[in-house]
Amino acid sequence: MRFFKIIAVILILVVGAYAASMYFFVDENKDFKIEKEVDYPIDKVFSQFNNLQHFTRWNNFFTSSPSIDIDYYTPYEGQGSAISYVDPKNDTDGEMFIRYENPAKSLRYQLFEDRNESPTVVDVQFKPVSADKTKITWYVHTPKLSVFRRVENFWTEDRFAENINKSMVSLKNVLGNKVEKDNQMAAIKYDSLMVENEEDKLLLGINVSTSNKKDALYKNIVMNYNKVYNFVSMDLGKKDDEFGYPVLITDADNYKDKEVSYFLGIPLSKKIGVSDNNFNFRSVNPSQNYVIYYKGNYEGRIRAIQQLIQKAKKDEMRFGDIRQTFIERPMEGQEVNMKLSLTVYK
């Protein structure tokens, strides 16, 4: 009996010492600042923060768990927008609000976690460093913690910083794809033959053989594009701003054949595990290309392809595959908007 009394006294002393040290030496809440720079203009960056549907696609707090479920509430963007989330696997839930917005300058978020009545308040400021670079500063104010939970403040800042580091990698990938698409659209000159050096790409897609009868080929392309798009967006959970324009690769002169074989894929930033054997990855090596942008019915692309082949022959260049990059998604009954690229070499 005496032994248990001694143990009880020791436990009381230890708990008391812990509580006293937490009370006198550890702050009840934490305030800290984190700064980062991204190589994109402020208008592109700010729109990824003030739109919560965009925000949750790249922020590691929301993307790190595959089981998290998010509901969005109007107005979806800017001051007054909000989300709620539930993560059954990690047994967490919460709500997030944008309480204040100064367009292209600052935002204030409030995050309520696990039914905690006190929120984490995060003020984010945006400052253009140059036309193509933005400085982002987070000012974080954590909620007050009880004496027995204050030990959590020892790792709060490190955990928040780690989350931001991972989020910045995802944000740069998202902005890279978005800016690349915007720049490509702005640079289009239709029906003019150009020379381009194309970087390597990693495509996830499908191999197809189909009839080249009137309209049958394009209908087949639309069908298989929808298959690939649905697999990437739904099965793999990728959003539109996380991948590039769809690319169809085929022999340059097979438009004359009765049957056509092609590979249709969507560019991704890295290889990931794919369980469906219908889909596979294909690497596209860097190359020099003769390029024409074309808009019209799909059959009309043949003339543009012939121009590219004639140019290659005139320049005494050998040529390989033709790549058809769909600037607008292929849809049955509608004109195509595409970039035709003929790979050439000596």
Taking only the tens of pLDDT, the chain with its 346 residues reads 665 566 655 565 544 544 444 444 445 566 889 999 999 999 989 999 999 988 988 888 888 887 888 888 888 789 999 999 998 887 888 899 999 999 999 999 998 987 777 788 999 999 999 988 999 999 989 876 554 454 454 446 778 888 888 988 888 888 877 766 666 666 677 888 888 888 888 999 999 999 888 788 999 999 999 999 988 888 887 777 678 889 999 998 888 888 999 999 999 878 878 888 889 999 988 899 999 999 999 989 999 999 999 999 999 899 989 999 998 899 988 999 999 999 998 8
pLDDT score, position 292: 92
* DSSP assignment of 41-106: -HHHHHHHHSBHHHHHHH-HHHHS-TT-EEEEETT-BSTT-EEEEEETTTTEEEEEEEEEEETTTE
pLDDT score, position 80: 92
* pTM confidence score: 0.55
Helix (H, G, I), strand (E, B) or coil at 252: coil
The number of residues making up the chain comes to: 346
pLDDT score, position 144: 64
